[in-house]
Chain A
Amino acid sequence: NAGVTQTPKFQVLKTGQSMTLQCAQDMNHNSMYWYRQDPGMGLRLIYYSASEGTTDKGEVPNGYNVSRLNKREFSLRLESAAPSQTSVYFCASSQERTDTQYFGPGTRLTVL
């Protein structure tokens, strides 16, 4: 039981490049989330998916898109990366939206 896994662990992009961050959970959870954490700050919600087939914007959605591929997988896409998107990205999941969220190990992204 791996919990929440994220790939890649590290990534360096040039401004304007695109990439997709992958997240998968093996806990049969219905809800999944993407957060970002900037240095010295708390986590901020980018997008969430309350259940398979639904996605909604969080606090800081600009510059990102998401796909809930199936119940297990929730991906985050940066279409045209900007230096302001340099951050650590965490994926989380919960049984239902009101339940405890469990986090993955994070993806450290640097945009030059």
Chain B
Amino acid sequence: DAKTTQPTSMDCAEGRAANLPCNHSTISGNEYVYWYRQIHSQGPQYIIHGLKNNETNEMASLIITEDRKSSTLILPHATLRDTAVYYCIVRNPSGYALNFGKGTSLLVTP
């Protein structure tokens, strides 16, 4: 699976959009980009995933660059409950494991 690079930490004001970047320059054509988050002491929570096109669901939007070498997770109106560690994962469809790196620790402040 391709390696991902994320900033260690980010801050965001409550009510503002949180934009979390991820670099995956070695991604292969059939690998998906997944985003999970882990709120302190809880199990990882699935957020969104995509292959080439931008995706949106009730939680977030995923923007993937045309060359697929990077992506951005957007939480449109961050709340205090969005404070968590966010993991960007590149997943080969033939693999079983999700390779969680260190992720980005997002702090949403009042």
Contacts and interface: CB of A to CB of B under 8 A. Distances in A.
Contacts, number: 50
Interface stretch (B10-18, B62-70, B96-104): B96-104
A48 interface: yes
A45 B103 contact: no
Contact of B46 (A37, A58, A101): A101
Interface in A10-36: 31, 33
Q: Is the interface of B mostly helix, strand, loop or mixed?
A: loop
Contact of B96 (A48, A100, A105, A106): A48
Interface residues of B, number: 19
Interface of A: 4, 31, 33, 37, 40-45, 48, 50, 56, 58-59, 90, 92, 97-98, 100-106
